[in-house]
Structure 1
Amino acid sequence: MTTVRTRGTVAPSGRRFAALLHRAPRLRLAGLLAPALLWLVLLYLVPLGLLLATAFFDTDSFTGRITYAFTTENVVDVLTTRAYLLTVARTVGVAVGVTLLCALLALPLAVYTALVSRRPGLLVALVLTPLWASYLVKVYAWRILLAPEGPLGGASPGYGWFAVIVTLTYLWLPYMVLPLHAGLTSMRGSYLEAAADLGARPWTAFRTVVLPVLAPAVAAGSVFTFSLSLGDYITVQLVGGTGQMLGNLVYQNFSTDLPFAAAVAVLPLIVMAAYLLTIRRTGALDRL
């Protein structure tokens, strides 16, 4: 005889299941995380695994179709060819330059919004306003500004890597300002007042109080600026002149030689993984 659920009562099976969840907090946590983890696996890890697998296939030179025979030719070619390694170095150099410039510009802005201004929320909203505009509109605007015949034509060298770094810095600056603002807001008033009460001079207070907070915040912001610059290819096409980055190689070979494009796409993944492992000790990943 089966037990059915009636109004105001819970079936024995339901009570047993609830008791099991109460006794097993890990099982309860797994049940809560399972939908999100499944979504992550299906939409991120599976496509990433397919990308890595495609790098070890080949393309028929006559038909242009993928041949599903295991080969390391594409990966070895990408990792040993000097031109591709120079592209990796150029891409990493641009990403590092953009990150450093974003940090230099974001530091005084975040200090003012978090510690000085009486309306920090309004200023943060103004910082985020450019994110509401179209990516292409902003890039084309900088293309016009940096053109030889543009408003800044006499003050800038025109198109090239300078234009790429300036444009990407403008695009990703808000992603550096926000972590710095959040980190500095956490010590607004009390920490600085305590340092002053203990007799710390401004430089001493900055070195012992502000800097330990800024270091992981800058590292957290750099994850965004570095990774977004590392994978960009549209800005390079529009304002970079004849320059190329890894994203351009992937874009150019995607429709003609997918396995080779997948092999090239593995390079920024390796670079980003090494970068994340490097900054892991700063505690920046805990702030993301």
Structure 2
Amino acid sequence: MSSAAAPTQQRSGVPAPRHGLARRGSAFFSRHPRLRLGFLIAAPLLWLGIVYVVALAALLVTAFWSVDSFTGEITQSWTLDNIITVLTGSLYQVVTLRTVGVALLVTVIDVLIALPIAFFMAKVAGPRMQRILVIAVLMPLWASYLVKAYAWRSVLSQDGILQWLLTPFGGSTPGYGLTATIITLSYLWLPYVILPIYAGLERVPDSLLEASGDLGGRTWMTLRLVTLPLIWPAIIAGSIFSFSLSLGDYLTVNIVGGANQMLGNLVFTNVGAANNLPLAAAIALIPIAIIFGYLALVRRTGALDNL
């Protein structure tokens, strides 16, 4: 019976399954875990290298080119004119200070709002309520960025719902401008600040808070001397999101900012209307340099481990 089955299998032309090569490969990678990890992250690293590193390198190179004033064509000749213009021009200095100021103020507002919300989620709410609150924090992220920005434009307008609520008390809405920009950006980036702080508070043992209370520590003293130092890296991690996202934003300023400009608006104007890509690239280097400097400052706090 077995002798008859063997020729039949050979005549069918279907090779027997080969498991030897797969077993050898699995055994090889099990003996070399670092090599296995390298193969796993090779594709993502290659993609990140192409999308980000190469794009930044191209941006840096473009900043040293120029535009022919007659033809409007980009001249690929090396020059420092764009860099000098950005560093010495009063317009770019004013817009840079305005952009950094708005980004810092948005970050401070978001941290102050996120701290009590994250603390309630992590240390007060029960497991079911925690899940509900996490979903509530994430729900704004499901809506379109433009929808949320235009919603705030409607709320903050002179005929909006906020004006209707404040009129009986003699108040008025801020209208369009930097105040509206700060309010809108604070709302947009708040979930990105709440979640890292919430994750940091979850890692704080409840026994430490109980021990502080047993030793006579009051609520504010416990928060200041025990909780805050432990979650400081998480706070910095959340601030990275709000600061960097505000630093590069330009759509919100166009929608609710009125005539005020930020660095993103100058980049957009020079790319589109002015058709001056080298100058736009030089301006874009400013927020990139600022955020890299900020990351270098917070690297020692361990905040990057919370991202």
Who is 1:200 aligned against?
A: 217
2:144 counterpart of 1:151: no
* Residue 190 (structure 1) shift: 2.8
Who is 1:127 aligned against?
A: 137
Letter in structure 2 aligned against 1:69: S
Letter in structure 2 aligned against 1:159: Y
Who is 2:70 aligned against?
A: 62
Percent identity over the alignment? 52
148-157 vs 65-74, greater mean Cα deviation: 148-157
Name the SS for the 2:70 alignment partner.
coil
Who is 1:79 aligned against?
A: 87
Alignment of 1:12-51 (within 5 A): 15=24, 21=29, 24-51=32-59
Letter in structure 2 aligned against 1:137: V
Change (3 A) 1:18 1:152: closer
Change (3 A) 1:173 1:27: same
- Aligned-partner Cα distance in 1 for 2:41–2:133: 36
* RMSD of aligned alpha carbons: 2.1
TM-score, structure 2 normalization: 0.85
Who is 1:106 aligned against?
A: 114
* Residue 30 (structure 1) shift: 2.4
- Aligned-partner Cα distance in 1 for 2:198–2:83: 41
Stretches of structure 2 lacking an aligned partner (at least 5 in a row)? 1-14, 164-170
* Residue 230 (structure 1) shift: 0.5
Name the SS for the 1:152 alignment partner.
helix
* Residue 8 (structure 1) shift: 5.9
Who is 1:137 aligned against?
A: 147
Equivalent of residue 279 in structure 1, options 270, 273, 298? 298
2:243 counterpart of 1:237: no
Stretches of structure 1 lacking an aligned partner (at least 5 in a row)? none
CA contact (8 A) 1:143 1:239 kept: yes
Per-residue displacement from partner, 1:11-41 (whole Å, max 9, x unpaired)? 5x984x7676566544333222211111111
- Aligned-partner Cα distance in 1 for 2:105–2:19: 65
Letter in structure 1 aligned against 2:70: F
- Aligned-partner Cα distance in 1 for 2:109–2:38: 42
2:98 counterpart of 1:90: yes
Name the SS for the 2:160 alignment partner.
coil
CA contact (8 A) 1:192 1:205 kept: yes
Letter in structure 2 aligned against 1:93: G
Structure whose CA Rg is larger: 2
Who is 2:285 aligned against?
A: 266
Who is 2:5 aligned against?
A: none
TM-score, structure 1 normalization: 0.91
- Aligned-partner Cα distance in 2 for 1:60–1:159: 37
- Aligned-partner Cα distance in 2 for 1:232–1:156: 23
